[in-house]
Amino acid sequence: MDKIKLYTITLLITILFSNCTPKKTIESEPVKKDRNMFGLYIPRGLTKTSDNLSPGYVMFRPANSASTYLVDRKGEVVHEWKGNYGVGSCYLNTDGSLTLLAIDQDFPVFAGGGEAGRLQKISWDSKLQWDFEYANEQYHAHHDIAVMPNGNILAIAWEAKTAEEVLAAGRKPEMIPKAGLWPSTIVEVEPYGASGGKVVWEWRIWDHLIQDHDPEKGNYGDVVLHPELLDVNIGRKVPPPISQDSMDVLHAAKIGWRNTTIENRGSDVYHLNAVNYNAELDQIAFSSPNINEIFIIDHSTTSEEAASHKGGKYGRGGDFLYRWGNPQNYHQGDSTDQKLFGQHDIRWIEKGKPGAGDLTVFNNDVPNGPDSLDYSAIYQITPPINGNGSYDRMDKGSYGPDVLSWEYIASDTLSFYGSFISGAHRMRNGNTFINEGPKGRFFEVNNEGEILWEYLNPYRGNIHHPDGDSVSPIPFAYWQFRSTFIPADHPGLKGRELVPLDPQPDVFKLPPKPKDKKS
């Protein structure tokens, strides 16, 4: 590729994705050293182990693959679930099957990280038991799901709203792409048959908006007094325009998302990336990295109540019960009060695990001052829940806590960093299992932050673009949206023969590392 063409594509990538990463205002930010965030050309497989580890396995799907692997503590693959699409988030059921979000590339309209569109169930022996498509011109399932105790599935989805509808909701005209916005919904799907699914409950961000920009609109109000609602005018501005020719160059180079157009860049305004269900509270937690906040809503409502401000166990309808991470979004505090930066994977710590009832979150891109590199962190927070299951605000008007219950960062703040995807969850022994997503690095740390076990994914699948072209492994050779520690006594593993596959899957080999050219 000649230098002019390479420069053009690089410039277009920068413009295209300028709306996709957390922004921090620093007056003269120095050039930052590359930390090899994607882990290219470094040793892979099992890199650290310890005595007396909790028995168990790690479940993940290799990058660019339709398979999901189960790896033992020695780093050997002991089981493979084979699917028919690329896999997003996946969850192990008590019968050994997987419920997963599958990446169907043949969907219309929507474009953005976390594209998926299909909810599936695959048996232990890789038989497709259920395959439900939730992708059309109005809705599209993306990023994450949560399997409920009754077998239903909560899924995040985009919802298409035209520019005219968004303007009528009070969003400032300069913040509206020509294609409109895609505010998110959360739907509960009841599976039936081989491919059926009934939406039995729905919550929509669209029903819980407020704005203080246009007094002529029906949702006009004081944002400070209503933190239970979302200010429709937060979120990123429309990115700088590019020409159709430039977009054609990007699509020809297989860069970006298939359905991206010059008119819908910036439409994925809130970009929810995680959903989690607490059956005891009957509440749902979700994460919006674009506005650097996590939220909790009531699931005990009917769909009609979820669209209103009254009803349900907590009497608030579908309004937010709790939010945390960036109180500037409801005009409280300033930049020093912001706690989250492009975060992923919000979860309650489950009963029986140390810290039960607290929340954990992967804080992807924590600023470290103008002269230092940003870093990632795992936060454990204790939400201010009261006796009836609702949440109290602090005297200053924002939601606490101000102080973390626990956190993990690398001692050098350099060696642990993933600016996107990634996740973490608490283990039964009190340790925390972490997925440093861009690098495909999975590791376990104790309460003191000591790394006890570490494994770097060495595998990559061979899914192709819809036109048959291969997918470039650079830079996303080994990345992982999620990985999960599965304890050895998980009901889904009972009676299973878990011995290393023979032969083991082929380890992926990167193309030779380019030699540095002398100037």
CATH number at residue 245: 2.120.10.30
The structure's pTM equals 0.93
Measured between alpha carbons, how far is 48 from 45 in angstroms, rounded to an integer? Answer: 9
Strands 375-381 and 406-408: antiparallel
Could you give the C-alpha distances from 191 to 152, 383, 450, in angstroms and in order?
A: 7, 33, 42
The answer to whether residues 104 and 86 touch, using CB atoms and an 8 Å cutoff, is: no
SS3 of 491, please? helix
In a domain, 37, yes or no: no
In a domain, 72, yes or no: yes
Strands 274-278 and 283-288: antiparallel
Return the residue matching tokens 């189960």: 70
DSSP 132-146: EE-BSSSEEEEEEEE
In a domain, 230, yes or no: yes
Count: domains in the chain: 1
In a domain, 152, yes or no: yes
In a domain, 30, yes or no: no
Contacts of residue 196, defined as CB under 8 A and 6 or more positions apart, other chains included, come to 132
- Within 13 Å and on the Cβ side, how many CA atoms surround 200? 16
Dihedral (Cα; 306, 308, 311, 317), 10-degree rounding? 60
Q: How far apart are the first and last CA of the chain?
A: 18
Domain range holding 231? 3-20+47-493
Quote the tokens at residue 290: 């674009």
Which of 60, 65, 40 shows the shortest CA–CA distance to 474? 40
pLDDT of the chain, 519 residues: tens digit per residue: 443 333 333 334 443 444 444 444 333 344 445 589 999 999 999 999 999 999 999 999 999 999 999 999 999 999 999 999 998 899 999 999 999 999 988 889 999 989 999 999 999 999 999 999 999 999 999 999 999 999 999 999 999 999 999 999 999 999 999 999 999 999 999 999 999 999 999 999 999 999 999 999 999 999 999 999 999 999 988 999 999 999 999 998 888 888 999 999 999 999 999 999 999 999 999 999 999 999 999 999 999 999 999 999 999 999 999 999 999 999 999 999 999 999 999 999 999 999 999 999 999 999 998 888 999 999 999 999 998 889 999 988 899 999 999 999 999 999 999 999 999 999 999 999 999 999 999 999 999 999 999 999 999 999 988 888 899 999 999 999 999 999 999 999 999 999 999 999 999 999 998 776 554
In a domain, 238, yes or no: yes
Quote the tokens at residue 511: 């193309």
In a domain, 488, yes or no: yes
Quote the tokens at residue 500: 């290393």
Instruction: Give the angle subtended at the CA of 188 by the CAs of 312 and 350, to the nearest 5°.
Output: 75
Q: Is the peptide bond before 401 cis (omega within 30 degrees of 0)?
A: yes
In a domain, 35, yes or no: no
**Distance of alpha carbon 149 from the chain centroid:** 22
